[in-house]
């Protein structure tokens, strides 16, 4: 029978927080929080300490104010926060106060610094290397809450409807914006797009290497005109509205050789250069169309009336319809990024009843998300380095894997000869990888 006892040694169960501290220490714009939004003279905690505490909390997979209490005596978390950790009451009050100030520009500068220090995985299409920017709205369900901004969403549940932008195939977060659940996806989308592009340009990327991919909620002349003014490439899913699918199919039926998938199923592809978004006569792109016509179902059932499944996009990409369709299907990966933020990091239930404070918390989650993604990508590259420029079998580690394998790792804090050591157990199978990650942070 094993007996339980408590010793005097300093054991820590979140050894990976040292990575997060090193990443935040290396962020050249972290000092802007104190320079532009200084704390009151009688405050015990600087603005950057509050921000670092909130980010550290989320990188440990927690989002509630009360969760900060279990980290107040955590040595590694105290170092991450800058010396001492605020109580839950102080954290709540300081975030409420900070939310009333102009914090977004400072946050965007911090995120651009993060993005400038990574190598985003690009998509090679026709010899051209493009960085995908996936913009999408996701519902944060909060059914029985009375928080400000919680309202019925397009998924018929109560909650928020924030908009997100992710860069690269790994899905580093560029920006997000918290919105009431009832707000339409297109409202404020142009301003959000311009903000995202500004962050990418500030991070050192060029406009002509960016590819924005959005769904049909953003099929508007204002949004597409903004895309062209920004000088980036784009794929915008069209909203057919009251358009006749049969007539559109007939207009491209003979553009390309149809693809016979199986008896009774044919795929037609074509380009319509004579079409333009409504209220945008100066449109310089074109419309690509992919239609699937079924006369016989997969089980052999013949149809009296053919079934038509049609998708079309506004784009300025000089590629074939097949390539454009494949690029847009890859946009669906952004749903996995939403899941990692909401489920793996536990961000879906935002902690405050104040909409502005929750917007700040979700904004800071951008930096926490990117810290975890950086750790995961570094670990993946160390464990499975690419061979002969071939695409790796695995593009990224899910954030849950990062949390379990590289953040929540037990260690012992040892002080000896005026030096500080973080000792991991001899059975820590990821130790060599973690050592290399620390060197890269």
* CA atoms within 13 A of residue 137's CA, in its CB half-sphere: 26
Bigger pLDDT: 207 vs 245: 207
What is the distance between the alpha carbons of residues 264 and 241, in angstroms, rounded to a whole number? 27
The verdict on residue 179 lying in a domain is no
Bigger pLDDT: 300 vs 59: 59
pLDDT band of residue 387 (cuts 50, 70, 90) is: low
The verdict on residue 277 lying in a domain is yes
The verdict on residue 54 lying in a domain is yes
State whether 305 and 365 are in the same domain. no
Q: Within the chain, how many helices (H) and strands (E) appear?
A: 14, 16
State whether 312 and 360 are in the same domain. no
The verdict on residue 127 lying in a domain is no
pLDDT (0 to 100) of residue 182 = 94
State whether 357 and 290 are in the same domain. no
The verdict on residue 414 lying in a domain is yes
96: left (phi over 0), alpha (psi -120 to 50) or beta: alpha
The verdict on residue 171 lying in a domain is no
Q: Is the pLDDT confidence value at 254 over 90?
A: no
The verdict on residue 177 lying in a domain is no
The pLDDT > 70 percentage for the chain reads 98
Can you point out the beta strands (E) in 273-397? 286-296, 302-315
The verdict on residue 71 lying in a domain is yes
Q: Is the pLDDT confidence value at 286 over 80?
A: yes
Arithmetic mean of pLDDT, 44-66: 95
State whether 69 and 22 are in the same domain. yes
State whether 98 and 31 are in the same domain. yes
Going by C-alpha positions, the residue among 25, 204, 26, 30 that lies closest to residue 109 is 30
pTM strictly above 0.75: yes
State whether 98 and 14 are in the same domain. yes
What is the distance between the alpha carbons of residues 385 and 158, in angstroms, rounded to a whole number? 44
Arithmetic mean of pLDDT, 244-269: 88
| Number of CB atoms found within 10 A of residue 42's CB | 5
State whether 292 and 364 are in the same domain. no
What is the radius of gyration, based on Cα positions, of the chain? 25
State whether 424 and 364 are in the same domain. yes
pLDDT band of residue 388 (cuts 50, 70, 90) is: low
The pLDDT > 90 percentage for the chain reads 73
Number of domains observed in the structure of the chain: 2
pLDDT digits (tens, 9 = 90+) for 337-373: 999 999 999 999 999 999 999 999 999 999 999 999 9
State whether 287 and 365 are in the same domain. no
State whether 289 and 361 are in the same domain. no
What is the distance between the alpha carbons of residues 170 and 294, in angstroms, rounded to a whole number? 36
Convert 298-337 to b/e letters by CB count within 10 Å (16 or more is b): eeeeeeeeeeeebbbbbbbbebebeebbebbeebebbeeb
CA angle 371, 374, 377 (to 5 degrees): 150
Specify the pairing of strand 128-137 against strand 210-214: parallel
Specify the pairing of strand 265-272 against strand 172-177: unpaired
State whether 296 and 366 are in the same domain. no
CA 263 to the chain's CA centroid: 41
Q: Which domain holds residue 311?
A: 238-316
Last residue of a domain, one of 316, 335, 362: 316
Last residue of a domain, one of 316, 336, 361: 316
The answer to whether 302 touches 129, Cβ cutoff 8 Å, is no
């Amino acid at each position: 029978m094993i007996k339980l006892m408590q010793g005097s040694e300093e054991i820590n169960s979140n050894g990976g927080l040292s990575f997060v501290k090193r990443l935040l220490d290396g962020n050249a714009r972290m000092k802007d929080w104190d320079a532009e939004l200084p704390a009151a003279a009688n405050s015990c905690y600087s603005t950057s300490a509050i921000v670092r505490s909130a980010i550290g909390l989320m990188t440990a997979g927690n989002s509630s104010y009360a969760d900060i209490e279990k980290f107040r005596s955590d040595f590694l978390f105290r170092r991450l926060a800058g010396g001492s950790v605020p109580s839950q009451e102080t954290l709540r009050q300081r975030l409420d106060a900070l939310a009333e100030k102009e914090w977004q520009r400072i946050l965007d500068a911090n995120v651009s610094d993060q993005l400038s220090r990574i190598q985003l995985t690009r998509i090679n299409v026709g010899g051209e290397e493009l960085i995908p920017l996936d913009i999408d709205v996701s519902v944060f369900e909060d059914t029985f809450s009375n928080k400000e901004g919680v309202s019925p969403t397009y998924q018929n549940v109560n909650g928020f409807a924030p908009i997100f932008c992710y860069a690269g195939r790994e899905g580093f977060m560029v920006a997000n914006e918290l919105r009431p659940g009832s707000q339409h996806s297109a409202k404020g989308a142009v301003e959000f797009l311009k903000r995202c592009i500004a962050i990418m340009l500030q991070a050192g990327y060029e406009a002509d290497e960016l590819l924005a991919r959005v769904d049909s909620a953003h099929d508007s002349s204002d949004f597409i005109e903004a895309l062209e003014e920004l000088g980036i490439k784009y794929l915008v899913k069209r909203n057919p509205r009251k358009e006749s699918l049969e007539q559109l199919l007939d207009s491209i039926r003979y553009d390309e050789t149809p693809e016979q998938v199986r008896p009774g199923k044919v795929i037609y592809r074509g380009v319509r250069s004579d079409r333009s978004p409504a209220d945008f006569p100066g449109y310089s792109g074109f419309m690509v169309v992919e239609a699937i016509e079924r006369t016989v179902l997969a089980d052999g059932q013949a149809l009296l009336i053919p079934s038509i499944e049609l998708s079309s996009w506004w784009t300025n990409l000089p590629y074939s319809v097949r390539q454009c369709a494949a690029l847009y299907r890859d946009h669906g990966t952004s749903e996995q990024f939403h899941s990692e933020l909401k489920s793996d990091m536990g961000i879906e239930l935002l902690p405050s009843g104040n909409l502005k404070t929750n917007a700040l918390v979700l904004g800071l989650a951008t930096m926490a998300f990117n810290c975890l993604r950086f750790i995961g990508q570094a670990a993946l590259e160390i464990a499975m380095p690419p061979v002969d420029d071939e695409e790796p079998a695995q593009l990224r580690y899910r954030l849950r894997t990062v949390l379990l394998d590289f953040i929540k790792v037990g260690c012992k804090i040892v002080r000896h000869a005026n030096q500080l050591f973080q000792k991991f157990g001899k059975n820590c199978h990821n130790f060599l990888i973690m050592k290399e990650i620390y060197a890269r942070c």
